[in-house]
Chain A
Amino acid sequence: MSGTRSLDSAEALTVVRESITAVVPDADFTRVRPHDRFRDVLELDSLDFLSLVEILSEQAGVPIDEDDYPRLTTLADSVEFLVERTKQYEQSRR
């Protein structure tokens, strides 16, 4: 299902949450507010974060570079990033 279609915010949030859950199976999202640094709250180390990038990229069907890492700091940032990137990617493929 890894598509190249653009995601809306709700879809992007689902992808972000599912991807985080794949890395941290017992992630408790009630502890993560939209603007919290989820890496800190959920205790993702650098290997976890790399796995997250890998899964996010696969799920959303868009490349994610190291330069994009700072945009994956909070849930809100990540959603915004995915919406934007999937849209760009979809347009570039037309």
Chain B
Amino acid sequence: MAEFTMPSLGADMDEGVLQEWLVAPGDRVGKGDAVAVVETDKAAIEVECFTSGTVGRLLVEPGTRVPVGTPLALIDTAQAPAAQAAEKPTAEARAPGARTTRTRGTGGAGAARKGRAETPAGRAAVHARVRAPKAAAVPEGLPAPEPTEKAAPPPPSAPPSPPPAPAPPSPPSAAGEPAAAVGPLVRHLADGLGVDLGSVHGSGPGGRVTRADVAQAARPAPARRRVTPYARRLARDLGVDLEGVHGTGDGGAVRAADVRAAARAAQAAPERSRPAVPVRARDGGHVPAAEAAAVSGEGARDDGRQREDAMRRAIGELMSRSKREIPHYYLSTVIDLAPAQEWMHRRNRGRPPSARLVTAALLLKAAALAAREVPQLNGHWQDGAFTPGTGVHLGVAVSLRGGGLLTPVIHDADTLTPEDLMATLKDLVRRARQGRLRGSELSGATLTVTSLGEQGVEAVFGVIHPPQVALVGFGAVVERPWAVGGLLGVHPVVTATLSGDHRATDGAIGARYLTAVDRLLHEPGDMPGSTIEERE
């Protein structure tokens, strides 16, 4: 038995609003699965589970603001049976709105809350009773997930649980394949896209079906419907359901203009064309992730002003604390980017835009590798001493349109190839701007990089994000006269800066770091992971 608690999603977070549950009682969850959406002052974040097991009671209603550390749900880690005797109708579990009106102590949330106050054994008993049947919790038409290696083996300290009832025969899936492990978010995505999970080939570890697989499956599946790739992308971004869009292209193909028209129509008549969905989500109803994304975008516009104020406050508090506590020192150096850009240019030639790198990815790669070389700058200042980071986890400052910023984290950035780094960067930036980041993607940074150069300035001297001890800044890439070997030429250059915490390091260490960044960018092909790429 484990408690899933309100996580801290950054040094500036004390409390958060549980906005939406992505799982229902009885759902099997794996470590790393997104289980809920939490709204902080800065963004709506998908938070993940850190244990594998079965979702027991949901202890907090959507819309509730709770401090960090508050238990949100119980996760039964003892067993993850495919099916259990039903005691509680699943419909109830999937309609939290209904739960609020139910009287307590009738075996639902009230009982679970009481159970929590009792002994651990009592808790286990209550918990075992309310486990919902897995098969019933799966949307119609989907095969019941089989237990897989994803389900954690019972830990030795776990309370004894009743032997799992024999699993009922799975409903036949379209392909007749056994269902692979499927995370709740993936399941919701599949649900929302109308994808039969049984027919999806899992490309993840152990045949696990990933979101990408579902998205892929969703594409060719409705073959009867011709949609241009751009229209499809637009529909996704605007939250338009393609099923309801009238196509005006060749052979009834849906074009971008059709999607836009549908989006406009939806906006013009919100009551009629957006039945219940946004309302349900606000009330804490259960909506598929895809829909929810659209909904949260809508909500963000509604209270955009409020959100902006809250974000300014959050940024203000963290930065004030930084300037109050951290004695900053600043270094700056101009780096010749000609070799890096030439390398990148060669590498990008002949590749479609989707497979190309941008300079920012190379700068991040160099920043990460340099942090490995100068570990004194990579970690946290805690209780009056420096704790080196385990791995280089780069926070990347992403400015949001309309103001504010978020710093998603690229974990183990030093070990990623430029390609992987690029893919991760794209994904994080996109989702940061859409307000759909995961908790783990916002925490654990050991060093932050800001590339304000994208906004045109030549140098940025940043404020360190406590408890980190340094911040790296890259300005705009500009063409400047540059002397190499006594010859003057015009080169692309970038100003790299370092803000350091003088409690943790002195300027000499900082200088070593910037020198390393410079050296790495002069030999981009020698950066680990880059050479293989060049061989092709």
Nearest B residue (CB) for A55: B230
* Minimal Cβ-Cβ distance residue in B for A66: B348
Residue of B255, B352, B425 with highest tally of chain A CB at under 10 A: B352
Flag the segment in A43-51, A73-81, A82-90 that touches B: A43-51
- Of B234, B349, B353, B425, which is within 8 A of A54 by CB? B353
Contact present for A46 and B358 (CB under 8 Å): yes
Bound: A57/B354 CA distance, A: 11
Q: Let me know if B356 is at the binding interface, CB within 8 A.
A: yes
* Chain A positions 1-50 with a Cβ under 8 Å from a chain B Cβ: 1-2, 18, 22, 24-26, 40, 43, 45-47, 50
Partner of B429, one of A2, A47, A54, A57: A47
Q: Which of B200-256 contact A (CB under 8 A)?
A: 228-230, 233-234, 237-238, 249-250, 253, 255-256
What are 21 A-B residue pairs whose CB atoms fall within 8 Å in the complex? A1-B228, A1-B255, A1-B256, A2-B229, A2-B230, A22-B230, A26-B401, A40-B456, A43-B455, A46-B358, A46-B360, A46-B454, A47-B358, A47-B425, A47-B426, A47-B429, A54-B353, A55-B233, A57-B353, A66-B348, A66-B349
Task: Establish whether residues A22 and B349, one from each chain, have CB atoms under 8 Å apart when the complex forms.
Answer: no
Q: 1/0 per residue A51-67: CB within 8 Å of B?
A: 10111011100011110
On chain B, which size bracket covers the interface?
Answer: 20 to 34
Given A50-B353, A50-B356, A63-B352, 13 additional A-B pairs, CB 8 A: A1-B256, A22-B230, A22-B233, A22-B234, A45-B455, A54-B352, A54-B353, A54-B354, A55-B233, A58-B229, A59-B256, A65-B349, A65-B350
Mark B442-457 against chain A: 1 for CB-CB distance below 8 A, else 0.
0000000000001110
Q: CA of A43 to CA of B401 in the docked complex: distance in angstroms?
A: 9
A22 near B237 with CB under 8 A, answer yes
Contacts of B401 in A (CB 8 A): 24, 26, 43
B353 and A64 within 8 A (CB)? yes
Q: Is there a chain A Cβ closer than 8 Å to B170's Cβ?
A: no
Give the size range of A's interface with the partner: 20 to 34
A1 adjacent to B353 (CB under 8 Å):
no
Q: Is the CB of A66 within 8 A of B356?
A: yes
Q: Which residues of A contact B454 (CB under 8 A)?
A: 45-46
Residue of B nearest to A2 (CB): B228
Point out the residues of chain B lying under 8 angstroms from A50, CB to CB: 353, 356, 358
Judged by a CB distance under 8 angstroms, whether B345 is at the interface is yes
Chain B residues whose C-beta falls within 8 Å of the C-beta of A57 in the assembled complex: 352-353
Minimum C-beta distance from B369 to chain A (A): 20
Which residues does chain B contribute within 8 Å of A2, judged by CB atoms? Answer: 228-230
Query: How many Cβ-Cβ contacts under 8 Å join chain A to chain B?
Result: 59
Q: Is B359 an interface residue (CB 8 A)?
A: yes
Q: Which residue on chain A has the smallest CB distance to residue B429?
A: A47
Out of B228, B360, B456, name the residue touching A47 (CB < 8 Å): B360
User: In this complex, what residue of A is CB-closest to B256?
Assistant: A18
Question: Once the chains are docked, how many angstroms separate the CA of A40 from the CA of B476?
Answer: 12
Q: What CA separation (Å) do A59 and B345 show in the bound complex? A: 24
Chain B 341-353 against A: per-residue CB contact (8 Å), 1 yes, 0 no? 0000100111011
Residues on B with C-beta less than 8 A from A1 are 228, 249-250, 253, 255-256
Query: Which B residues, 357 to 414, have Cβ-Cβ distances below 8 Å to chain A?
Result: 358-360, 401-402
A46 in contact with B230 given A1-B250, A54-B353 (CB within 8 Å)? no
Rounded to whole Å, the gap between the CB of A81 and the closest CB of chain B is: 15
Q: CA–CA, A53 to B354, complex, Å?
A: 9
Q: How far is the CA of A31 from the CA of B345 in the complex (A)?
A: 32
Name the residue on B nearest A24 (C-beta): B401
Q: Which residues of chain A are within 8 angstroms of B345 by Cβ–Cβ distance?
A: 66
| Cα(A51)–Cα(B360), bound, Å | 14
Which B residues are in CB contact (< 8 Å) with A43?
Answer: 401, 455
Contacts of B230 in A (CB 8 A): 2, 22, 55, 58-59
B456: A residues at CB distance < 8 A: 40
How far does the Cβ of B403 sit from chain A's closest Cβ, in whole Å?
11
**Residue among A53, A54, A63, A64 facing the most chain B CB atoms (10 A cut-off):** A54
Q: Which residues of B contact A18 (CB under 8 A)?
A: 256
Please indicate the chain B residues that have their CB under 8 angstroms from the CB of A25 in the complex. Answer: 237-238
* Closest-CB distance, B361 to chain A (whole angstroms): 9
| Chain B, Cβ-Cβ closest to A49 | B358
Q: Which residues of B lie under 8 Å from residue A51 when comparing CB positions?
A: 353
Closest to A22 in B: B234
Which chain A residues border B228 with CB–CB below 8 Å?
Answer: 1-2
Closest Cβ neighbor of B238 among chain A residues: A25
Q: How far is the CB of B183 from chain A (nearest CB, A)?
A: 27
> Shortest distance in angstroms between A3's beta carbon and chain B's nearest beta carbon?
10
Contact with A along B248-278 (1 / 0, CB 8 A): 0110010110000000000000000000000
Q: Is there contact, CB below 8 Å, between B359 and A46? A: yes
Within B93-108, the residues touching A (CB, 8 Å) are none
Residue on A with the closest CB to B231? A1
Q: In angstroms, how far is the closest chain B Cβ from the Cβ of A13?
A: 15
A50–B422 CA distance with the chains assembled, in angstroms = 12
Which residue of A has the minimal Cβ distance to B451? A45
Residue ID in chain A nearest B248 by CB atoms = A1
Closest to B255 in A: A1
How near does chain B come to A85, taking the closest CB pair, in angstroms? 14
Q: A44: nearest residue on chain B (CB-CB)?
A: B454
Q: How far is the CA of A18 from the CA of B260 in the complex (A)?
A: 10
Q: Which of B434-474 contact A (CB under 8 A)?
A: 454-456
Q: Please measure, in the bound complex, the distance between the C-alpha atom of A1 and the C-alpha atom of B233, giving whole angstroms.
A: 14
Q: A45 to B359: give the CA distance in the assembly, Å.
A: 11
Q: Which residue of B lies closest to A40 (CB)?
A: B456
